[in-house]
Amino acid sequence: MQTTFTPEQLRDPVMARSNDVLRTCVHCGFCTATCPTYQVLGDELDSPRGRIYLIKDMLEKGLPADAKTVLHIDRCLSCLACMTTCPSGVHYMHLVDHAREYIEQTYKRPLFERVLRWTLARILPYPTRFRVALLGAKIGRPFAFLMPDARLKAMLAMAPKVIPPVSRNDDPQVFPAQGTRKMRVALMTGCAQRALNTDINDATIRLLTRLGCDVVIAEGQGCCGALTHHMGKTAESHATASKNIRAWTREMQGEGLDAIVINTSGCGTTVKDYGHMFAGHALSQEAAAVAAIARDVSEVLMQLDLPEGVMGHRVAYHAACSLQHGQKIKTYPKDLLKRAGFKVVEPADSHLCCGSAGTYNLMQPEISGQLKARKVETLEATRPDIIAAGNIGCMMQIGSGTDVPIVHTVELLDWATGGPRPPALDADGKRAVPVPILR
């Protein structure tokens, strides 16, 4: 694609990067076939190619973003299915991230939306604030019908019925390896996940220590910055991400780390991109070093000696977009589940997003609801005993639309190797599953 940025514009390294990305697009349109929003809305401007043209136009003109561009960029899930499909290697993620930042800096949203986004950015990345907000939402849920805005209704509807107590396992400490130590890893405990579901980190710690890892919960870590990064709020995103970089750098320079383990794939995609996010920043070297050893938990588990099992349950594996498209990890979670003895099935159109996408299900509830309905239908069609996923956002989204229990992949692997049965399998009278047999 031809671009017409001025030399002065291209002196900005972020603009120069977008120029490079734009120039790799040959506007073939292959990406439209796998774009969820194009499938739902059927509008070229809600396809990757349409958005690329809008972004090009907006950045080249250098004028404040207009309402039409903002509408179609806001509707993008950042699911990155287009990056998997694109034969030209267009790095849409960096382009849309820049577009969101540009919009945030140049476009004045309606007051209600500004307040909503400001509030989300100040609550979601902080587990204690988020926990308080969840309690408020739980109390307010019966009154959701009184809410004047679909987004407020969606926020109340998404509040879980059960809010777990704080897990002290998320406090700074080291969990020693059982038996011979094979690796020393830091576990990213996250933000929203710590308020929504403490079983996932607990299961991850048990599983990794059982398989020979020292698991470090580094002091000072928190939100990876993804939630605010995807809102274009760069200062907020850098502020929280910097804390993580400093926390893990201390550990790397101390006893050393073989990996930073991330069990929320949406966060993993962002941490792996810290090198790009912090280019030219005072922490650029540390950020790149952190990104270089950031691993999804399934990548680390593939390096360890997971025992074979004979669990036997039928597990529908939901591939989170951030894992399959963002990190290109497609087979590891399924391979691990099969090794543990689970019968793994996959839904039709497994490349399509469930509609969760960070704050998307709160900000775009209608499109998100349609994608959720499709995903639940295809998952239930596989007649699973359990649904497994590697991202808390997907688990919340899908779990709100089905009675099939949904758990994190590591909870099943922990169970299969001697850990407790995942609590979610027994909640609310959900379907019972057989007792595991280990060997």
Interface residues with ligand SF4 (CB under 6 A)? 25-31, 35-37, 48-49, 51-52, 76-82, 85-86, 88, 90, 92
Report the nearest approach of ligand SF4 to the CB of residue 423 (Å): 33
Nearer to ligand SF4, 56 or 151 (CB): 56
Report the nearest approach of ligand SF4 to the CB of residue 322 (Å): 11
Report the nearest approach of ligand SF4 to the CB of residue 93 (Å): 8
Report the nearest approach of ligand SF4 to the CB of residue 230 (Å): 11
Nearer to ligand SF4, 98 or 184 (CB): 98
Nearer to ligand SF4, 45 or 301 (CB): 45
Count CA atoms within 13 Å of residue 142 on its CB side. 1
Nearer to ligand SF4, 35 or 177 (CB): 35
Nearer to ligand SF4, 222 or 266 (CB): 266
Tokens standing for residue 85: 């499909």
Nearer to ligand SF4, 76 or 217 (CB): 76
Report the nearest approach of ligand SF4 to the CB of residue 372 (Å): 15
Nearer to ligand SF4, 32 or 204 (CB): 32
Report the nearest approach of ligand SF4 to the CB of residue 75 (Å): 7
Nearer to ligand SF4, 77 or 396 (CB): 77
Nearer to ligand SF4, 18 or 198 (CB): 18
Report the nearest approach of ligand SF4 to the CB of residue 32 (Å): 7
Report the nearest approach of ligand SF4 to the CB of residue 145 (Å): 30
Report the nearest approach of ligand SF4 to the CB of residue 42 (Å): 13
Q: Which residues of 100-127 are buried (b: 16+ CB within 10 A; e: fewer)?
A: bbbbbeebeeeeeeeebbeebbebbbbb
